[in-house]
Structure 1
């Protein structure tokens, strides 16, 4: 039996029970397909901080580097105590420069348009999420302020959040989006940025699109002001195909597109680099639901499907997606977020939902 070793991070809040549900589905599907998922369980997040004194232990990063892939539950980063986001640290340490968030319609989830099938590709390591933020009166702010004051652009007492964007980073994320479109039979890639306000930084995305587009004659490559892109998502979301954006816009727009098809509970995601990839749902840890066994595990199950695609197990991923679709179509064994308020009492648990998906997997064969 062939084997894939995968780092597994349960995360915080609702993460452990969602990861457990997804793991059960993935293990069942793998076993019936003749391969084994060997889970290398590692800590990260607030639980890790309590148990080992670090939000992100070096051993967890080493595990991902060694195995090449990870499935990750949502983690919580303490606010205001000097800790850096676990997600941002993982992406930067492993150079996971491409965040891929497919958004499609699923039965019963409340999509605003039945034709939505979009992939948001977000640059993951630059822009304002690069961690270069300095509170007012900090040493870092003083250095930045002193430098800018030489050009007459700064006053004392200012806080700074820097927005580094490089030509190389812009070029590789646009190339990634074009490659993704070609590999997956997509027809169009739209590059969104605000070149009017940020011509020297976000303008690099448009330059990369103009340079690389001719190398992909089978793909329509377009540059779109991000404000126009947002308008088009409201007016005609089904006409969008692949969107590639700087880090901040990509984060916001991927959440907006998820809302168009029912919310973050239906939105899987992947953070991909040249050597490693981490697969995770796009929602947060929802600590208020920790231990409740009530939340929707679909996003994490579908993130597991992306993991299987990455591992070359696409037929098994397709079987899981078909099982999920069948459960959602029937609508009998779904979590409370997928039901109208007057039927919420009929909702099943996280565990029961996963069991229903497994039962459909057995029916599919």
Structure 2
């Protein structure tokens, strides 16, 4: 007979959700009974894969009205900003889906992705990586969940030249941001049926910075007696992950910004790359789900782009919005298409299908 905690965790697995007490969805339906979702189609292949998502959503009858928004960067008082009407739309609807963005080179702009995180205070990046049935890689049964602090660390942009040839970059760690992302990790573990949280750090060397992150995580853990907390050094995690990722199925991993950036791409590589990996950026009031791969300008307009990452990110978005039945239907259609053979998958996955053919195959399996 299952204990009460086991029953709760089993039920949580069935109702996967990225909404927690720390980051919930509060968007309202419009007059048609649909949710309005701003979509940033992105650069390069972005418009092509965004159109594939829209076609599949129309076929699946998902109650969403897409609202295209522009994030062409503007320099205002020397700082990169996005159009105010876009900020208002995303803040109003509490959600957005984003294709790949390319940052203009040599025009004084910082990363658009970083600008979006700062603008909407998207404090946690969530990256699940799960082996795709039918798409063989050297690793089997990968099933990891990584949560990355998304607002500070080495990416705070605090750096300066001390003297010519000597640059100082400052890693910013605050208790407030550390506690917030760690609390989200514990809430996410509880929501999705995980019984363990793994805090990844390098407090043996970064005694104050990573030490504060670790201290904050252990303090938050006291509020979650049903979830066990574990710690591990980042270099050890990397070694063990590429040796055998299967033990990490039990954990939700949480870590500071730079470690999370590296580790999330490492985990993506285990399942076949960024083209298969969804991602969500969670904020207290607003969340943005995105494809984290590049804009691939070399294949833009050729009709061969792979929309899988954006599709699976949109599935995460639907789960966050509480539209689980639609999420499950689309996810199953995508995964069965990926498993159906090389003639139905795009060439980046060693297949021969066009974007259009892949999209039609997904729709046929709804």
1:203 lines up with 2:211 in the alignment: yes
* 1:55–1:205 Cα change, 3 Å: closer
Q: State the match for 2:364 in structure 1.
A: 359
User: Aligned residue pairs: how many?
Assistant: 328
CA–CA separation in structure 2 for the residues paired with 1:322 and 1:103: 16
Deviation at 1:121, TM superposition (A): 0.3
Deviations 1:145-190 (A, max 9, x none): 4xxxxxxxxx555323221110111111111001000000012211
Q: State the match for 1:350 in structure 2.
A: 355
Q: State the match for 2:267 in structure 1.
A: 257
1:129 lines up with 2:135 in the alignment: no
| Gapped regions of structure 2 (runs ≥ 5) | 1-31
1:101 lines up with 2:112 in the alignment: no
CA–CA separation in structure 1 for the residues paired with 2:84 and 2:357: 35
Alignment of 1:55-94 (within 5 A): 56-94=82-120
Deviations 1:211-268 (A, max 9, x none): 1223222222111111111111012201113111111110111000000001100000
Q: State the match for 1:243 in structure 2.
A: 253
CA–CA separation in structure 2 for the residues paired with 1:307 and 1:350: 22
| Between 273-282 and 323-332, the greater mean CA deviation after superposition | 323-332
Deviations 1:11-48 (A, max 9, x none): 1011111111112212322x1xxx521111111247x9
Q: 1:25 aligns with which of 53, 56, 62?
A: 56
Superposition TM-score, scaled by structure 2 size: 0.85
CA–CA separation in structure 2 for the residues paired with 1:335 and 1:82: 36
1:297 lines up with 2:297 in the alignment: no
CA–CA separation in structure 1 for the residues paired with 2:335 and 2:201: 34
Q: State the match for 2:334 in structure 1.
A: 324
Deviation at 1:55, TM superposition (A): 6.7
| Between 98-107 and 207-216, the greater mean CA deviation after superposition | 207-216
- 1:26–1:304 Cα contact (<8 Å) kept: no
1:13 lines up with 2:44 in the alignment: yes
Partner SS for 1:215:
coil
Q: State the match for 2:348 in structure 1.
A: 337
CA–CA separation in structure 2 for the residues paired with 1:128 and 1:199: 15
CA–CA separation in structure 1 for the residues paired with 2:50 and 2:153: 30
Partner SS for 1:92:
helix
1:44 lines up with 2:41 in the alignment: no
| Between 262-271 and 191-200, the greater mean CA deviation after superposition | 191-200
Q: State the match for 1:151 in structure 2.
A: none
| Between 233-242 and 119-128, the greater mean CA deviation after superposition | 233-242
CA–CA separation in structure 2 for the residues paired with 1:67 and 1:37: 12
CA–CA separation in structure 2 for the residues paired with 1:296 and 1:6: 22
Deviation at 1:294, TM superposition (A): 0.8
| Gapped regions of structure 1 (runs ≥ 5) | 137-144, 146-154
Q: State the match for 2:8 in structure 1.
A: none
- 1:190–1:242 Cα contact (<8 Å) kept: yes
Q: CA RMSD in A?
A: 1.8
* 1:203–1:37 Cα change, 3 Å: same
Runs of 4+, deviation exceeding 4 Å: none
Q: State the match for 2:188 in structure 1.
A: 180
- 2:265–2:274 Cα contact (<8 Å) kept: yes
Q: Which has the higher helix share?
A: 1
Superposition TM-score, scaled by structure 1 size: 0.86
| Between 186-195 and 109-118, the greater mean CA deviation after superposition | 109-118
Partner SS for 1:287:
coil
CA–CA separation in structure 1 for the residues paired with 2:72 and 2:236: 37
CA–CA separation in structure 2 for the residues paired with 1:159 and 1:89: 23
Partner SS for 2:166:
coil
CA–CA separation in structure 2 for the residues paired with 1:186 and 1:111: 25
- 2:173–2:213 Cα contact (<8 Å) kept: no
- 1:88–1:130 Cα contact (<8 Å) kept: no
